[in-house]
């Protein structure tokens, strides 16, 4: 367990009552959310409620598809963004130039900072491969200076090589990417010793992040991990509603919970 320092309490206060750790259950007493558990209530890839299955519907389709063997070594979502709650609003409003103070952006910065300080090293430990590069999923709407790249990616620091991915297809005007298409990204060539982190702000079905992860793998990286800051949960889905009924109120965000092992113990 990693104890938070007193200097980081202000950052935690920004998010503790708004965000909840992804994959940290409250109503279920057995440790079903471990990456290594034989029983599942949450998808072992993205953390969505599955009501007993190993993968959610979208992740199961990916694992059974053409690119399933090229998927990430680790996927470590940080918090749940729940539609209808402040966490679900933040993932949209953090991107908007509101004028004055943008509290949603401050919370996204705080959760990124705390992850990098306390758990970035956990990615390296879990797969015995030092993180070397980080790349942000580029905007599907063609937005320049997206805050994921300009405001959040810099928290990963100068010790990592920050790679820029370019989309090779026209920007979408509506909707989300729904298919795995690694060819839509232009990337540099990596080495087999490279460990690349794919940074995503919001995982809905995961198509963009998984497409980029596969593309990074196809460009030579030996280890690929995905860090979605938020895993969106929509309570109108039966499995999500079922899970929330058993776990609400969700525990306040706690950086001592490891998003890599999905337990209170770091690897």
pLDDT, one tens digit per residue, over 57-67 is 999 999 999 99
Number of domains in the chain: 1
pLDDT > 70 in the chain, percent: 90
Beta-sheet pairing, 195-203 with 185-186: unpaired
Residue 260 lies in a domain: no
Is residue 235 a part of any domain in this protein? yes
Domain assignment present for 120: yes
User: pLDDT at position 189, please?
Assistant: 98
232 domain residue, yes or no: yes
- What torsion, rounded to 10 degrees, do the Cα atoms 179, 181, 182, 183 define? -170
- State the Cα–Cα distance between residues 209 and 29, nearest whole angstrom: 31
Report the pLDDT averaged over residues 93-119.
92
Query: Would you say residue 267 lies in a domain?
Result: no
The per-residue pLDDT for 188 is 97
Task: Specify if 160 maps to a domain.
Answer: yes
Model confidence pLDDT, tens digit, residues 72-89:
999 999 999 999 999 999
Is residue 252 assigned to a domain?
Answer: no
Among the ranges given (164-168, 171-175, 192-196, 241-245), the one the predictor scored with the smallest mean pLDDT = 171-175
CA distance 31 to 15: 25
170 confidence band (pLDDT: 50, 70, 90): low
CA distance 184 to 165: 10
259 falls within a domain = no
On whether the CB atoms of residues 213 and 190 are closer than 8 A, the answer is no
Domain span holding position 71 = 6-169+180-247
Determine contact, residues 108/81, Cβ cutoff 8 Å. no
The pLDDT-based confidence of 90 (bands split at 50, 70, 90) is very high
d(CA 244, CA 253): 16
Compute the distance between CA of residue 250 and CA of residue 155 in angstroms, rounded to an integer.
27
Closest alpha carbon to 218 in 101, 71, 94, 81: 71
pTM as predicted: 0.92
């Amino acid at each position: 367990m990693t104890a938070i320092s007193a200097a980081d309490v202000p950052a935690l206060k920004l998010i503790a009552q708004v965000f909840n750790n992804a994959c940290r259950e409250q109503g279920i007493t057995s440790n079903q959310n471990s990456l290594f558990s034989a029983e599942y209530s949450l998808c072992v890839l993205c953390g969505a409620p599955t009501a007993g299955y190993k993968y959610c519907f979208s992740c199961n389709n990916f694992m059974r598809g053409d690119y399933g063997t090229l998927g990430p070594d680790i996927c470590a979502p940080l918090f749940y963004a729940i539609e209808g709650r402040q966490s679900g609003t933040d993932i949209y409003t953090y991107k908007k130039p509101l004028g004055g103070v943008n509290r949603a952006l401050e919370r996204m910065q705080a959760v990124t900072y705390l992850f990098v300080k306390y758990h970035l090293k956990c990615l390296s430990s879990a797969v015995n491969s030092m993180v070397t590069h980080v790349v942000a999923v580029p905007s599907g709407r063609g937005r320049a200076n997206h805050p994921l790249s300009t405001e959040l990616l810099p928290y990963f620091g100068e010790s990592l090589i920050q790679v820029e991915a370019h989309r090779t297809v026209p920007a979408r005007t509506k909707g989300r990417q729904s298919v795995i298409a690694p060819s839509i990204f232009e990337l540099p060539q990596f080495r087999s010793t490279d460990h690349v982190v794919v940074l995503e702000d919001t995982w809905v079905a995961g198509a963009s992040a998984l497409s980029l992860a596969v593309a990074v793998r196809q460009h030579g990286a030996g280890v690929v991990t995905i860090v979605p800051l938020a895993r969106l949960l929509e309570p109108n889905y039966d499995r999500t509603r079922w899970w929330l009924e058993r776990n609400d109120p969700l525990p306040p965000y706690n950086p001592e919970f490891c998003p890599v092992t999905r337990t209170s113990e770091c690897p």
